[in-house]
Amino acid sequence: MSKVVYNFSAGPSVLPKQATEAAAAAIADYANTGIGILEMSHRSKPIEGMVAETESLLRELLSIPSGYEILFLGGGASLQFCMAPINLLAQDASADYTDTGVWAAKAIKEAKRFGKVNVISSSKNSVYDHIPKDFKQTDGATYLHITSNNTIYGTQWKEFPTANTYLVSDMSSDILSRPIDVSKFGLIYAGAQKNMGPAGVATVIVRSDILGKAGREIPTMLDYQTHIPEHSMFNTPPVFSIFVMNQVLHWLKNLGGVSAMEKINAKKSGLLYDALDSSKLFKGTAAKEDRSTMNIPFVFHSSVVPTDKKDALEKDFLTGAKEKGLEQLKGHRSVGGFRASIYNAMPIEGVEQLVSYLCDFEKKII
Ligand SMILES: Cc1ncc(COP(=O)(O)O)c(C=O)c1O
């Protein structure tokens, strides 16, 4: 039997086994057609049906009201950094943005190409260790953009702000981790490769009445209104990625949906945060009230590990973790230390093993 491995990667990240097994089988023969899914036309009945089912599963799981369209597009979340303002923001209008991390900053940079951007709050000066919630929205701003979960820094909006108009959110790293009130949002976008499936597809949930108002010529492929009547089939969509997402959504539904998932995520993250809070060697880096249930960065206490010993001890920690099958725990370079990404598909046993390793390592050092 192969060794049990727990993959704490920030993305692409762990997927439910059920979904990866179904994906492997579908490559050989999709839905008993004798043709593999990679070789099948997106216009064929089985694929059209699968994409439509994926859309309706997502609508059901996130309670997406009527008036909202669901799209599966290529280009990742990064393409949405520009597609959102191209479609929503008129040249002479402005939008409010909250600067909560590198991804938020990238969204800001792209939006500036298409209209005026008001950065109404930022936690950049403290390496994005908290969500800056004290802000004033700009009168007349078209929308308020947030990044619901900041993958690198492990901060998460626990309650969404109420926008004067509507929210636009990058939910790449926490979509489907908890119930959300979609009606607060005009647009939600997310790269799939954390909680939804493999890379290659981004999900867009858009309220259709906000479209068609930007007053600019939009290249066909970048116009949401191109893709809506075509049900994401204007061109060849990333069929295989959508299929894996379909399987992930079935898995989530069978587990009890996003409310059940939220409880599991609270339990998993609680276990790890409790261990970090009671540790004399490790500490979490994010402000307690904004701690993410998805990404948990942590470092050594600098009072215990002097700077000149830090790199070597971090290496020891990671080597020991790998020996125990605890993979991909190295922190992002901007935060340092370690990061455990515990997305929906990370089993609680993985977190328990990590906590046990943290305790053992600490006993060896202190
Ligand atoms: C919050 C967030 N937004 C956007 C991105 C970029 O996503 P993509 O690679 O799909 O463009 C990431 C990737 O990690 C992310 O974590």
Give tens-digit pLDDT for 242-265. Answer: 999 999 999 999 999 999 999 999
Catalytic residue among 96, 103, 157, 174: 103
Nearest-angstrom CA–CA distance, 99 and 81: 13
Instruction: Quote the longest CA-to-CA distance of the chain.
Output: 64
pLDDT at residue 215 tops 70: yes
pLDDT for 314 equals 98
Establish if 70 belongs to a structural domain.
yes
Establish if 243 belongs to a structural domain.
yes
Same-domain status, 124 and 238: yes
Task: Give the domain-ending residue among 222, 255, 288.
Answer: 255
pLDDT at residue 2 tops 90: no
Overall size of the chain counted in residues: 366
CA angle, 333 then 345 then 262, to 5° = 95
Establish if 142 belongs to a structural domain.
yes
Same-domain status, 168 and 109: yes
Establish if 82 belongs to a structural domain.
yes
Q: Which residues pair with 95 in a beta bridge?
A: 117
Same-domain status, 152 and 301: no
Q: What is the CATH number of the domain that holds 267?
A: 3.90.1150.10
Nearest-angstrom CA–CA distance, 68 and 82: 20
Same-domain status, 267 and 180: no
In 3D space, the residue among 235, 179, 164, 231 whose CA is nearest the CA of residue 204 turns out to be 231
Q: What is the CATH number of the domain that holds 24?
A: 3.40.640.10
Q: What is the pLDDT of residues 274-307, one digit of tens each?
A: 999 999 999 999 999 999 999 999 999 999 999 9
Same-domain status, 167 and 264: no
Establish if 71 belongs to a structural domain.
yes
Protein residue with its CA nearest to atom 15 in ligand 1:
172
Q: Is the CB of 100 under 6 A from ligand 1?
A: no
Token code pair at residue 296: 């948990």
pLDDT for 325 equals 98
Q: Is the CB of 292 under 6 A from ligand 1?
A: no
pTM to 2 decimal places: 0.98
- Work out the burial of residue 353: count CB atoms within 10 Å of its CB; fewer than 13 is exposed, 13-18 middle, 19 or more buried: middle
Same-domain status, 264 and 251: no
Same-domain status, 327 and 180: no
pLDDT at residue 229 tops 80: yes
Positive or negative torsion for Cα 124, 187, 235, 247: positive
CA of 301 to the centre of ligand 1 (A): 29
Q: Is the CB of 115 under 6 A from ligand 1?
A: no
SS3 content of the chain, % helix, strand, coil (to 5): 40, 15, 45
Same-domain status, 284 and 218: no
Mean pLDDT of the residues in the chain: 97
pLDDT for 150 equals 98
CA of 172 to the centre of ligand 1 (A): 6
Would you say 346 and 325 are in contact if contact means Cβ atoms under 8 Å apart? no
- What is the pLDDT confidence band of residue 341, given thresholds at 50, 70 and 90? very high
CA of 78 to the centre of ligand 1 (A): 6
Protein residue with its CA nearest to atom 10 in ligand 1:
76
Q: Is 99 designated active site? A: no
pLDDT for 97 equals 98
Task: Give the domain-ending residue among 202, 237, 255.
Answer: 255
Establish if 83 belongs to a structural domain.
yes
Task: Give the domain-ending residue among 205, 224, 255.
Answer: 255
Establish if 1 belongs to a structural domain.
no
Q: Is 170 designated active site? A: yes
Strands, sheet with 282-284, edge to edge from the N-terminal-most edge strand: 282-284, 295-300, 338-341
Nearest-angstrom CA–CA distance, 280 and 67: 52
- What is the pLDDT confidence band of residue 51, given thresholds at 50, 70 and 90? very high
Same-domain status, 118 and 184: yes
Would you say 184 and 162 are in contact if contact means Cβ atoms under 8 Å apart? yes
Domain count for the chain:
2
Positive or negative torsion for Cα 38, 41, 44, 49: positive
Same-domain status, 281 and 192: no
Same-domain status, 271 and 310: yes
pLDDT for 3 equals 84
pLDDT at residue 1 tops 80: no
- What is the pLDDT confidence band of residue 14, given thresholds at 50, 70 and 90? very high
Q: 347: domain range?
A: 6-14+257-365
Amino acid making up residue 196: M
Same-domain status, 142 and 231: yes
Establish if 32 belongs to a structural domain.
yes
